[in-house]
Amino acid sequence: DGGITQSPKYLFRKEGQNVTLSCEQNLNHDAMYWYRQDPGQGLRLIYYSQIVNDFQKGDIAEGYSVSREKKESFPLTVTSAQKNPTAFYLCASSIGGIDTGELFFGEGSRLTVL
Amino acid sequence: AQSVSQHNHHVILSEAASLELGCNYSYGGTVNLFWYVQYPGQHLQLLLKYFSGDPLVKGIKGFEAEFIKSKFSFNLRKPSVQWSDTAEYFCAVRGSNTGKLIFGQGTTLQVKP
């Protein structure tokens, strides 16, 4: 079945540690996205990539980093510089292009910083 | 800059009641508009979308939305809700030249049986 796989589903981290969230898709989509979901704030865009080896900052990129070395993979690193990293992180993909279609979402990764 | 505002944060309805969730956006150019739904314990899924053409769009499960360009609005409606419609609903907007999909804050709908 085609889809988006995020791992791990739950992750605990100590303050000061970097952590990388995995996102893999087998939909052959060009565009991939990372959102952060917090109660009452909806989904906020962290980074997005419309093509391999290229990505752009979203609205809340500070303290995060990404890479897009392969079409199917778009890992997100939450660095120690992110001041409030505890959140639910969602990865998504779409066909790509300027007027892309709908986004397809993974099941999310819940990060808790202890 | 793009922005999206959902006016209702928490809505409680009885079964068979009619539903309308408000969504307004800010963007000066052509937009693509979406409503997504997140049922408890499930991932986000598309409810309906508007790209062009008829401003009244129909989605899954009896939902519809109307794009009113002059009001920068894309309100979601359903004539008669069911208990299974209990979920969180998100409006989203993409400016046609940006590639960025921006979401509203979400509306939690609770339908009482």
The average pLDDT across A37-44 equals: 89
Residue B86: pLDDT over 70: yes
* Cβ neighbours around B19 below 10 Å, total: 21
Rounded CA separation A78/A70 (Å) = 20
Q: Side chain identity at A76, as an amino acid letter?
A: L
Rounded CA separation A24/A52 (Å) = 13
Residue B68, chain A, CB below 8 Å: the answer is: no
The average pLDDT across B66-71 equals: 95
Residue of B nearest to A50 (CA): B99
What pLDDT is recorded for position A97? 61
Residue of A nearest to B46 (CA): A102
Surface of B (6-45) touching A: CB under 8 A: 6, 9, 32, 34, 43-45
In chain A, which residues have their Cβ closer than 8 Å to the Cβ of B49?
102
Q: What does the mean pLDDT of chain A come to? A: 91
Strands B3-5, B101-103: pairing kind: unpaired
Query: How does residue A99 score in pLDDT terms, banded at 50, 70 and 90?
Result: low
- Per-residue pLDDT tens for B13-57? 999 999 999 999 998 888 899 999 999 988 899 999 999 899 999
Residue of B nearest to A51 (CA): B99
Rounded CA separation A105/A98 (Å) = 19
Residue A24: pLDDT over 80: yes
Residue B96: pLDDT over 80: no
Residues 6+ apart with CB under 8 A from B104: A42, B4, B5, B6, B23, B90, B91, B92
Rounded CA separation B18/B82 (Å) = 10
